[in-house]
């Protein structure tokens, strides 16, 4: 891939700023941390819908930061059925676990056309060694990913179909709008009913029935894939949705710093 022109680098860095701003909400990053982070080598790459960003079984040598679009993690059961196990939205990092686990245990695929910044794993590891606050923020980010995965397990194993779909809609809304915290306007859901079913353990037919039930109850309005919340509080109550597991806000009292010898 040809080197980035200065204008392209500026565009990429502007998009990367969101990722580091989100990290800074979890662990205090100073200007030196940010300056060092923006010097990371990166390659911009675009994937078409359903394209593979990482394949299960790959020995991963990079981390991808989502700049535009959406992606999802997927596991196959070996008999032709797939389960969506995670969603990646702009500002997320795909593959933080590869700092510790080299072999990918699931596929990561583009949900929409997606643009990512691919950063060599070794560069991230070296940055984390130099900048403990960044290492701390990456660890917190992965811990939150694990918390979301646990909530998905509860959603599939402990809620009925209506609550599963309601909870999924609430989570997607809050995560997508976390930067602006706007849920009343609604959003374009970049998933088919079959894909929602793969994320909630339901068939596409069951998902369609649950969406119709929520619409009839006056909780949501739908136009193709656009979802607007007619009654956000009511939808949240049905889903028993709480943002606690998303762990917004700072997660540490003091930043991680190395005391230099005098």
Of 3, 28, 22, nearest to 132 (Cα)? 28
Per-residue pLDDT, 256: 54
Question: How far is residue 196's CA from residue 206's CA, in Å, rounded to a whole number?
Answer: 10
Tokens of 42: 């990166």
Per-residue pLDDT, 181: 52
Per-residue pLDDT, 257: 53
Per-residue pLDDT, 201: 95
pLDDT along the chain (262 residues), means of 10: 42 69 78 88 94 94 93 88 93 91 94 95 94 91 94 96 97 78 73 96 96 96 88 94 89 57 44
Indicate the pTM of the whole model. Answer: 0.87
State whether residue 94 is helix, strand or coil.
Answer: strand
**Cβ atoms 22, 93 nearer than 8 A:** no
Per-residue pLDDT, 146: 95
């Amino acid at each position: 891939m040809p080197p980035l022109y200065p204008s392209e680098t500026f565009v990429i860095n502007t998009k990367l700023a969101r990722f580091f701003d989100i990290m800074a909400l979890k662990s205090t990053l100073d200007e030196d941390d940010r300056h060092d982070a923006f010097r990371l080598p990166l390659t911009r790459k675009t994937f078409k819908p359903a394209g593979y960003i990482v394949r299960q079984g790959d020995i991963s040598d990079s981390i991808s930061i989502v700049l535009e679009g959406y992606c999802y993690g997927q596991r196959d059961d070996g008999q032709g059925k797939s389960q969506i196990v995670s969603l990646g939205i702009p500002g997320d990092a795909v593959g933080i676990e590869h700092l510790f686990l080299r072999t990918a245990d699931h596929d990561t695929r583009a949900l929409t056309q997606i643009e990512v910044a691919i950063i060599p794993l070794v560069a991230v590891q070296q940055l984390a060694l130099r900048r403990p606050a960044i290492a701390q923020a990456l660890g917190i980010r992965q811990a939150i990913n694990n918390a979301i995965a646990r909530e998905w397990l509860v959603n599939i194993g402990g809620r009925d179909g209506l609550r599963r779909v309601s909870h999924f809609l609430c989570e997607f809304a809050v995560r997508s709008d976390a930067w602006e915290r706007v849920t009343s306007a609604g959003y374009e859901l970049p998933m088919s009913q079959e894909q929602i079913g793969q994320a909630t353990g339901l068939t596409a037919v069951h998902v369609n029935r649950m969406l119709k039930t929520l619409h009839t109850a006056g909780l949501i309005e739908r136009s193709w894939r656009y979802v607007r919340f007619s009654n956000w509080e009511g939808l949240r109550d049905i889903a028993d949705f709480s943002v606690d597991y998303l762990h917004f806000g700072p997660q540490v009292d003091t930043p991680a710093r190395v005391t230099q010898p005098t």
